[in-house]
Amino acid sequence: MTSTLPPPTQTPSPRTPQRPQPQRSEPRRTLLPDQDAFARGMWAEGLVAALATLAVAWPLTGLLREDTWLLPAIALVALVTVSGALMRTFDVPPSLVALGQLLLGIGGVCTVFLRETLWRGLVPTADTLDRIGGLLQQAGTVLQTYAAPAPTTEGVSFLVVSVLTLTAVSVDSMAVTGRAPASAGIPLAAGFLVSVSNTGRAMEPWYFLAVGLLWLVMLAQQSHRVTSGWSSPNRQESRGGQDVSTGPRSLRGLAQVLGASTLVVAILGASALPHLPPTFFGGGLARNTEARTVGGDAAGEVAFTESMDPSQDLRNQSQAPVLRYRTTGISAEPLRVTATERFADGRWQAPDRLSAELLPLNSPLPRPAGVADDVEVSTFQTQVLENQLAPPHLAAPAPLVGLELSGGDYRFDLTDSTAVLQGRAPRYTALYQAPIPGAELPGHVGSVPADPAEFSPDLLAVDAASGDAIAALSEQVVGAEDNALQAAILMQNHFRQPGAYTYSLELTPAAEVGAADPISAFIASRRGYCVQFAQTMVMMARHEGIPARMAVGFLPGTRQNDGSRTVVVADAHTWPELWISGMGWTRFEPTPGARASSIPPWTRAPLDNDQAPATAQPAPDPVPELPEPTEAAAPPADSWVDDMRQLLPTIASVLGLVLVLALLMTVVPLIGRRYRERGLREAHDPAGRVEGYWRVLTRSLADLGVEEPPARSPRVMRGYYEQRTVLVSPAQDALRRATATLERSRYAPVGTLSETDAARMGQDVRAVVDGVRQASPWNVRANAALLPGSGLEGVGHWFAELRTRTWPR
């Protein structure tokens, strides 16, 4: 029987005209159809990637006090996930999917945090750059200053949400769009390690378990997609007379067992190994004073900056040097680092320093508040020759009136008169003021009671638990004295009475003396170290209506042979600061014994104003003279925003080049797609659409490195592709169906094919292209996505048509 089809190697002959067949009313399609849009969008994989991104941020809930960052983070991660799935559903090229997610993520961050700086709510302006700089600077201050849990300022929220949004884009682009979940473990691990390392304690196992399980799920989804397309998923082989199944199901099961076992071993192994102290990426964020260093002897590492209690530094008696300095002061003053006014839950809380409340960088320091004009003061200089104290902390006598750093910048907190370093300063010079020893203080000093409305409520708040004990002691010591300075001197002298109190790091348990709180226990036992003496005097002063706060820093240190002084970690110390009318914030020293600094000279004045002032304490041995200090502060350095403005032309040029490249990688894939689908747009019947889909197949495979076959019969071209590609079973079947449909289109009578056949051809072409893409190396896939050959060919074809239209022959 003679076949009605020509031999496979012959060139198809032109068809003879036949009666036109009625056309169906279906709309013409230019996009490749698909059997399952949900599968194409990879919604399930995107959901797992989003959950993994949020799991990375789980440890942050313990680092930050408020969860105001959580809702914006969830919303923007969801935006990135849903937008990527929608673009994949509509067959947007992978490069455009990632670019679209990035732009939407950036737009979402700008809408949430920078909306008021955008022109018409859309376009960034110069104010946007300034606002970003302010938010990042605010976040940096929190990272360098606070102990966990740190306050969630707007800058911190901006930083956390921005990082999580970029992480979501990276993970979704790699694991879902790029179908490489293994590489997505890199951004997940980076974000996870930063979050966990700053908790200040050993890693909680469920943090790792959540991220590890979700990452394994992503790997399982990818492996299921790949193994389901194997050519022999249900093959059975005879072994020993019995048929045994050897398909991918058994391999997936083995992989699941291995993955689960590895996860369990990792958790158990981590819990069994000893934990070294964590590393802190921020200067002060989440520091745990119990795990700061191994042995606690690292230079400059002190615990009181976060705990406001130097007991750890006193107990280890570390001789690690912190400072070496010279001073022109008549008497050696303690070096103040910081102060706090908030007492809660039986301990002092580290101060909150908001960026908005700090003076601009390197601003001249203001004159100390509250000092009357008739109080005789002198300005002295402290020159720090070696500084090992970690920023943002700076040690200097108080009150500061000038500061000059050899390197770096500082800001000043007016609320507690504390300098906040913005980077390490190995050397610096500080100017401070003090009343002249022996000079008579005016009679009005301390006579004006403090107005509570002018001070923070914390400065006058008495600890409720010890309120009764404080009131009884204050009544006993102060009595009816209403002058604040004289009342403070009475308190100081009470604690320093010989034999009245005992200095000791070993505190008497509250239960032994029938007390319910630490301060009451100290009053009853009369045993403690500098913190107990200082905080009790603070509470007594507040009970008398005198604003008071706790200062922490160092004793003056040990004098060396060359006249300089050396301060070590074990010199940590605390003392009270009281607000005295006419003198402002004034230092007192209630701690007795050798572990205290010298009594401030102005507190030696007799309580009776009619008596002559006491003789000043003899000055220490003379020290080498220092250069005459200058009152003018160093001119403020340009901020990083000013530097950015100077570099704006260079940045604009680089950004312009980047935008051109990005535009090229955006336009070329679009041109390539239109060029590949050109035959579909020009087709008017099912047969034409089948030919158009075949051109899509050949040009798409050419982008993936498989050259187009020579013009042969469909069967020969199928053999050509089968030899040059590695196709799994579904893709092989799709190639056979596509070539069979093409064969019918070319050799069967006109009207044989229907729109359903054309749609099936499009589905088969997509399956073949996807199969070849999955089997191609990553660099081939990236090149096909960013700079496809069909796109460059389409550009050339477009220029050729433009030239023909412009200069016709």
pLDDT reported for residue 276 = 40
Examine residue 27 and state whether it is found in any structural domain, yes or no.
Answer: no
Helices 43-56 and 154-171: crossing angle, nearest 10°? 140
Same domain, 687 and 801: yes
Same domain, 394 and 314: yes
User: CB under 8 Å to 434, separation ≥6 — which residues?
Assistant: 329, 333, 377, 378, 380, 397
Tokens, residue 358 = 């700090």
User: By percentage, how much of the chain surpasses pLDDT 70?
Assistant: 73
Mind giving me the DSSP string for 553-621?
Answer: EE---EE-TTS-EEEEGGGEEEEEEEEETBBEEEE-----STTS-PPPGGGGS-SSTTSPPPPPPPP-S
Q: Compute the average pLDDT of residues 384-412.
A: 90
What one-character DSSP code corresponds to residue 236? E
Examine residue 591 and state whether it is found in any structural domain, yes or no.
Answer: yes
pLDDT reported for residue 194 = 64
Return the SS3 of 357. Answer: helix
314-350 in b/e burial notation, b at 16+ Cβ within 10 A? bebebebbbbbbbbbbbbbbbbbbbbbbbbeeeebeb
User: Domain of 144?
Assistant: 37-230+251-272
User: By percentage, how much of the chain surpasses pLDDT 90?
Assistant: 26
User: Amino acid identity, residue 224?
Assistant: H
pLDDT reported for residue 27 = 40
Q: Compute the average pLDDT of residues 479-506.
A: 92
Same domain, 438 and 356: yes
User: What are the backbone dihedrals phi and psi of residue 460, each rounded to the nearest 5 degrees, phi first?
Assistant: -120, 5
Q: What band does 25 get if pLDDT is binned at 50, 70 and 90?
A: very low
Find out whether 248 and 230 touch, Cβ atoms under 8 Å.
yes
Could you give the CA distance from residue 574 to residue 122 in angstroms, rounded to a whole number?
52
Which of the listed residues 625, 657, 684 is the one where a domain comes to its end? 625
Return the SS3 of 687. Answer: helix
Same domain, 267 and 350: no
Give the other-Cβ count within 10 Å of 474's Cβ: 23
Same domain, 224 and 331: no
pLDDT tens figures, 340-359? 999 988 889 888 887 778 89
pLDDT tens figures, 726-755? 887 788 889 999 999 999 988 888 878 888
HSE-CB of 21 using CA atoms within 13 angstroms: 14
Which of the listed residues 625, 659, 674 is the one where a domain comes to its end? 625
| Of 332 and 698, more confident | 698
Which pTM was predicted? 0.46
HSE-CB of 322 using CA atoms within 13 angstroms: 29
Backbone conformation region of residue 120, classed left if phi is above 0, alpha if psi is from -120 to 50, else beta: left
Same domain, 256 and 318: no
Examine residue 425 and state whether it is found in any structural domain, yes or no.
Answer: yes
Q: Compute the average pLDDT of residues 424-430.
A: 91
Same domain, 616 and 695: no
Examine residue 633 and state whether it is found in any structural domain, yes or no.
Answer: no
User: What are the backbone dihedrals phi and psi of residue 725, each rounded to the nearest 5 degrees, phi first?
Assistant: -135, 160
According to DSSP, the β-strands at 584-587 and 572-580 are antiparallel
pLDDT tens figures, 98-151? 888 989 999 899 888 888 888 877 788 888 888 888 888 778 766 655 555 677
pLDDT reported for residue 661 = 66
Question: Looking at the 3D structure of the chain, how many domains does it have?
Answer: 3
Give the other-Cβ count within 10 Å of 15's Cβ: 12
Examine residue 705 and state whether it is found in any structural domain, yes or no.
Answer: yes
Could you give the CA distance from residue 567 to residue 560 in angstroms, rounded to a whole number?
11
Q: Is residue 463's pLDDT more than 80?
A: yes
- Return the H-helix or E-strand segment holding 384: strand 377-387
Find out whether 677 and 114 touch, Cβ atoms under 8 Å.
no
Q: How far is CA 290 from CA 286, 386, 556, in A?
A: 12, 26, 26
Q: What band does 26 get if pLDDT is binned at 50, 70 and 90?
A: very low
Same domain, 525 and 463: yes
Average model confidence (pLDDT) across the chain? 77
Same domain, 145 and 69: yes
pLDDT reported for residue 594 = 60
Same domain, 363 and 506: yes
pLDDT tens figures, 652-662? 666 666 666 66
pLDDT reported for residue 648 = 60
pLDDT reported for residue 262 = 64
According to DSSP, the β-strands at 548-554 and 428-435 are unpaired
pLDDT reported for residue 482 = 93
User: CB under 8 Å to 438, separation ≥6 — which residues?
Assistant: 601, 613, 614, 615, 616
Q: Which residue has the tokens 């099936």?
A: 760
Examine residue 4 and state whether it is found in any structural domain, yes or no.
Answer: no
Tokens, residue 191 = 């974000």
pLDDT reported for residue 286 = 38
Terminus-to-terminus CA distance in the chain, angstroms? 53
Same domain, 445 and 525: yes
Q: What is the 3-state secondary structure (H, E, C) of 269-299?
A: HHHHCCCCCCCCCCCCCCCCHHHCCCCCCCC
Q: Is residue 807's pLDDT more than 50?
A: yes
Of 578, 565, 496, residue with least CA distance to 334: 565
Could you give the CA distance from residue 233 to residue 249 in angstroms, rounded to a whole number?
8
Comparing 268-272, 278-282, 395-399, 661-665, the range with the smallest average pLDDT is: 278-282
Q: Which residue has the tokens 């473990």?
A: 185
pLDDT reported for residue 539 = 97
Same domain, 566 and 423: yes
pLDDT reported for residue 548 = 97
User: Amino acid identity, residue 795?
Assistant: V
Examine residue 418 and state whether it is found in any structural domain, yes or no.
Answer: yes
Examine residue 658 and state whether it is found in any structural domain, yes or no.
Answer: yes
